Structure 1
Amino acid sequence: MEYKLVSINVGKARRELYKNKEIATGIYKKPIEEEVFVSTVQIGGDQQADLVNHGGKDQAICAYPFEHLEYWEKTLQQSFTVGAFGENFTIQGLNEENAHIGDIFEIGDVRIQISNPRKPCYKLGNRYKVDELPLLVQQTGYTGFYFRVLKEGFIKPGQNLRLIERKEENPTVAYINKVIYQDEENVQALKNLVEVKELSERWRNSFQNKVEKLLN
């Protein structure tokens, strides 16, 4: 099964104002047209400003479903084009409902694996001057998700993501979003997520901490 990679987007970190304070952000991404190298931590030419919450080996590539952009344009009456959510990959056909944690794909020389949902932050709202946008993203479940890189290599626009292993026994991104935003006191659900070995270590640790707090 293949999914269309509509666009590969990269961008350097920049500084802007947020509530009269200067912040660094890497949310501004633009499409590229040339071949690029993908390492275990990022796509060549890309940069993350907040290395605590973005980037790293479990979050090397941020992906967002192309189909969601029309929804946001109609809802917020603004233009949302590829890269609008700070994503590196704008993908058609693969979304939170059918993306399982641990699913493995190939694109060009590169092999990637879904690692965790994308958690929207205030910088997204600041970009579009819509403070409630992160909350709206949570409520809709249109969060996007991250890939870790299992095999480095080169990719280029026009190539598609080819599914080579689907982890149907693992939760979907949509399920995890539902737990953390609508059912965050469900101890058994949280315990189950802790056991998903393909889920990023930071997310599993976070769920374990929530379990311990709920049981104490």
Structure 2
Amino acid sequence: MASILTVNLAQPRRNPDKPELSTGIDKHPTPDPVEVRAPGPRKGGLGSGLVGDLIGNSKFHGGDDQAVYAYAREDLDVWETELQRELANGTFGENFTTTGVDVTGARIGERWHVGSDGLVLEVTSPRTPCRTFAKWLSIRGWMKTFTTAATPGAYLRVIEPGTVRAGDEVVVASRPDHDITVAVVFRAIMGEPELLPRLLSADALPEKIKRLAHKRT
């Protein structure tokens, strides 16, 4: 069964890249049910889509298009082998650690029904690596390594609010008929710009990525 293995919330700490800022990248599983709602705009909104979570740098993170970040436990397991270190759920800063979900292969605009409380999420875009992520893991060359692997996980927006808890089932309720996946978008914006025009068939993309794609048409 495709499901949420753990729901992870931030334990605020000083940003390892910018000590004057806090960061919410250090996330840990919670046993409690968590309310999920649309956080509003990136600047001036609530930040994360999960009540009790933290977005430290609202210039680049959070807001409606990045309300929830999901990463597959299966991909974390691959990284554990490659990096030869333990990676607990939440280590990559993900809100949802999933199992049985093809997160990186999800299509932009794909909708997930999560749990039994009416929560509906929509896949919007891949996560792109930043300096905070690299500093947090303390791995030399991490941004290049992460980019080459091209398993970035997915950001989701909240279509219908609800409550989520560990063990909730994930059902792909609808899937667009285009072929633009999270992986394709990641490749397009991280080093294969010739793919950018293809992205315009995915209406659910954030406007920032659409503008980037339009520049290549």
Q: So what's the TM-score if we normalise by structure 1?
A: 0.87
1:79 maps to which residue? 86
Change (3 A) 1:157 1:176: same
- 1:151 aligned to 153, 157, 160, which one? 160
- Matched-pair contact (CA < 8 Å) for 1:40–1:152: yes
- 2:32 aligned to 20, 31, 34, which one? 34
1:10 maps to which residue? 9
Change (3 A) 1:47 1:178: same
2:46 maps to which residue? none
- Provide the C-alpha distance between the structure 2 equivalents of 1:194 and 1:154, rounded to a whole number of angstroms: 32
Q: How does 1:1-216 map to 2 (within 5 A)?
A: 3-18=2-17, 21-41=19-39, 42-108=49-115, 109-184=118-193, 186=194, 189-209=195-215, 211=216
Change (3 A) 1:62 1:158: same
Unaligned runs of 5+ in 2: 40-48
Unaligned runs of 5+ in 1: none
How far did 1:153 drift?
1.5
Change (3 A) 1:179 1:17: closer
Matched residues, number: 206
- Matched-pair contact (CA < 8 Å) for 2:16–2:136: no
Change (3 A) 1:164 1:12: same
Percentage identity across aligned positions? 29
- Matched-pair contact (CA < 8 Å) for 2:6–2:165: no
Q: Which amino acid aligns with 1:177?
A: F
- Provide the C-alpha distance between the structure 1 equivalents of 2:56 and 2:170, rounded to a whole number of angstroms: 27
How far did 1:190 drift?
1.6
- Provide the C-alpha distance between the structure 1 equivalents of 2:90 and 2:104, rounded to a whole number of angstroms: 21
- Provide the C-alpha distance between the structure 2 equivalents of 1:123 and 1:173, rounded to a whole number of angstroms: 22
CA deviations over 1:27-55 (Å, ceiling 9, x no partner): 00010111111111211110111112211
- Provide the C-alpha distance between the structure 2 equivalents of 1:203 and 1:52, rounded to a whole number of angstroms: 16
- Provide the C-alpha distance between the structure 2 equivalents of 1:127 and 1:95, rounded to a whole number of angstroms: 25
Q: Which amino acid aligns with 1:144?
A: G
